[in-house]
Structure formats: C-alpha cells, structure tokens
Structure 1
Amino acid sequence: MSRTALLSIDVQRSFLARGYAEQPESALFEQRLLALIAACEQRQIPVVDVFHLAEEGPFSLASGLVTRLPFLNHQPALTIYKHVHNAFTDTGLDRWLRERDINQLIITGIRTEQCCETTARVASDLGYKVKFVTEATMTTPLEYGGQTLSVADLRLRTSAVLTDRFADICSVDDCF
C-alpha cells in the first residue's frame, strides 16, 4: 500500500521579487495548488513545504521573504530549507519520509523545469514513486540560444523527459 506526501516546492515570497505577481499564469497556478492541497488534506496526506535558501538576495533568510506566498494557509507537516535544486540533499527529507513509511510523492511548486523537475528525478532515483502535477507547477519563459522557450514549451519538455522514466505526469483531478 502506498503512503503519500505532497511536496510544495519553493512556493515562497522570494518570487515576488522576481515578478511572480505579474505572471499571467499566477492565478491559475494558485487555484490548482490550492485544489491539490485541499485534496491532500481531505485524504490526510501530509504536505511538506520546501523553501530555497541563498546567501543573499530575496532567497536569503535576511530578506524576510523565505515564507509561503500569501495565498497559502495550510499547516505543513514539515518545513525544510534547501540550498540546491532538489529537496533531498542535506535536508533530512528522505529520513523523515522513510520514518513514516512514505513511498510515493506528489510534486508541485515553482520552477517546473528546475527545482520541481530535479526533485522528481532525485526522488525517483531514491526509489519513490513520483506523481508530477505539471499543471500545478509554475515557471516563466526562458531565454536560451537566442530563442525564448514559453511556459507551455517548458512544461511539455519537462513532462516529456520525466514520463515513463522518473514520474507519472498527472493533473490535479487525476492525481488520486
């Protein structure tokens, strides 16, 4: 029997300093994340808040921005702080999950192709079954090689590289 936890990755006020509120997809992301958290709470699935820390800037503790974005009001079962792109390195997350016999993770959060995707890959390598809720992740367009990859491009790319390898891609409605 699977025991599940939801990882809410980097959904923190630090992104307000990077234009989060001005992003066209912010409202839809918030709606989907709130629905996902509510569904988890209804099923008594623990929610883990994961925050990214940096030495300075909006991701530093000194900034006062390393807290949940204002639309969130859930009570996390655990809050961890990471210094790298995945939620496992030097955070104690793996130990906490194993102590609770949790073997399946639902991944959501900010920067679909960065911290969310990297966490999914590491989780899979550690033996967790991963559900990646692409529609409940958020990112912004990315410039590379003189081209702009849109949010849709990045979501498609992430889904393509994770599916059948590292994670099952699912919607909020199909997650359970």
Structure 2
Amino acid sequence: MPAADTALLLIDVQQSFTVRPYWDAQDVPAFLAACNTLIAGCLKRRVPIVRVFHVEDDGAFALASGLVRPLDGLMAFAEQARIDKHVHNAFTDTGLDRWLRGRGIRRVLIAGIRSEQCCETSARVASDLGYEVDFVSPATLTFAMRHPLSGAHYSAADIRARTELVLAERFAQVCSVEQALARLDAD
C-alpha cells in the first residue's frame, strides 16, 4: 500500500490535559519527542496529518477555555484537516471517515493522548471500519490510574502495555515510530 494511502491521526495532543488532576509531566518529554519525530517523518513523506481535538461544553476541554490548542512542545505544522470530537473515538459524528475515504486513505497511524482511551478507541473503530491501523505506542501518552474495585495502582507504563497487548494483531499493528516510518518507506 503506498504511503499516499496513509494518514496520521494526531488525537487530543492538547493543553486541556495539563489542568487535569491526573496530569503527570514525567513521560511528556519522551512522548513529545516521539510525536515530533513521527510528525516530521510524515511531513517528509507527504502523509496527511489530521489533528483531532476533544471538545466539551464546559471546563478545560471547552473551546472558550483557550486550552483546546496544541500541547506546548509539539512541533508546529499545517494539518490537512482539523476534527473536533465530543466522544472517545475520532470517527463518531466527525466526518473523519468520509474525509479519509474521499482521499483514498486505507491505513491510519494513531498517536496522541490517552493511550487506553481515545487512541485505543479510535484504533478499534478504525479497524472495524476497515482501515489498516498502525498504533504508534511511543507516540501515545497516558497517566497512572487506580482500579475502582481492588484499589490496585497501574502505572502509565502498565496501562500502555495493556493497550498494546489488546490491540496487537486484533485491531492494529503496534509499532514504534521508527517501525511506522519504515512501513511507509516500504510501501
């Protein structure tokens, strides 16, 4: 499949998260480095980039908050499309599927925030819609969580590993940034 049939979906890489109580900047430098490398690689290969923002009516994810903008440290680029979503996946009621199909896109690269939430959900929906999915795990970010019943603590690395496990070979090709770019070059 030629790289012309591929698009990068950059999901929810936005300032809104920085004011959430669970925000932890520990993994942010590595995440931004991975995202910026992926973006630069896609730009070099002329892979279209779709910027997806999560938008809510109130709070930090409301357009009026001024926080629905790229996360500080993310490289500047001209996206080919901007999608505002109001649910966990990037496809429901956004027109994204129509936009992708209208351009002959058959494979999507998934990167963004949160690994197990909007990125994983978008990967599953994309797969169900018939897209080939590359889940670029190092270019996703998440945060530690506590299990509501057992009280067990799960680190961001635990959650990312679980996401990789459940997506791999079912819904997506789980890959590094380098592997995703090499797959583009091999096409």
Fold shared by both chains (TM-score > 0.5)? yes
Structure 2 equivalent of residue 140 of structure 1: 143
Q: What does the per-residue CA deviation read over 1:127-166, in whole Å, with 9 as the maximum and x for residues that have no partner?
A: 0000001111000001113011111110110011001100
- Higher fraction of helix: 2
Amino acid at match of 1:13: Q
For residues 37 and 103 of structure 1, the distance between their equivalents in structure 2, rounded to whole angstroms, comes to 19
Q: What does the per-residue CA deviation read over 1:46-77, in whole Å, with 9 as the maximum and x for residues that have no partner?
A: 11100001111000111111111122211111
Q: Secondary structure at the match of 1:26?
A: helix
For residues 8 and 147 of structure 1, the distance between their equivalents in structure 2, rounded to whole angstroms, comes to 31
Structure 1 equivalent of residue 175 of structure 2: 170
For residues 140 and 21 of structure 1, the distance between their equivalents in structure 2, rounded to whole angstroms, comes to 7
Contact kept? 1:23, 1:140, Cα under 8 Å: no
Cα separation, partners in 2 of 1:26 and 1:170, compared to 1, 3 Å: same
Matched ranges for 1:120-159 at <5 A: 120-144=123-147, 145-159=150-164
Moved more, 85-94 or 71-80: 71-80
Over the aligned positions, Cα root-mean-square deviation in angstroms equals 1.2
Runs of 4+ deviating beyond 3 Å:
19-22
Contact kept? 2:55, 2:62, Cα under 8 Å: yes
Q: Which runs of 5+ in 2 are unaligned?
A: 182-187
Matched, 1:84 2:77: no
Contact kept? 2:127, 2:133, Cα under 8 Å: yes
Equivalent residue pairs, number: 176
Q: Which runs of 5+ in 1 are unaligned?
A: none
Matched, 1:49 2:48: no
TM-score, normalised relative to structure 2: 0.91
Amino acid at match of 2:132: K
Counterpart of 1:7 (choices 1, 4, 9) is: 9
Q: Secondary structure at the match of 1:105?
A: strand
Amino acid at match of 1:98: R
Cα separation, partners in 2 of 1:132 and 1:55, compared to 1, 3 Å: same
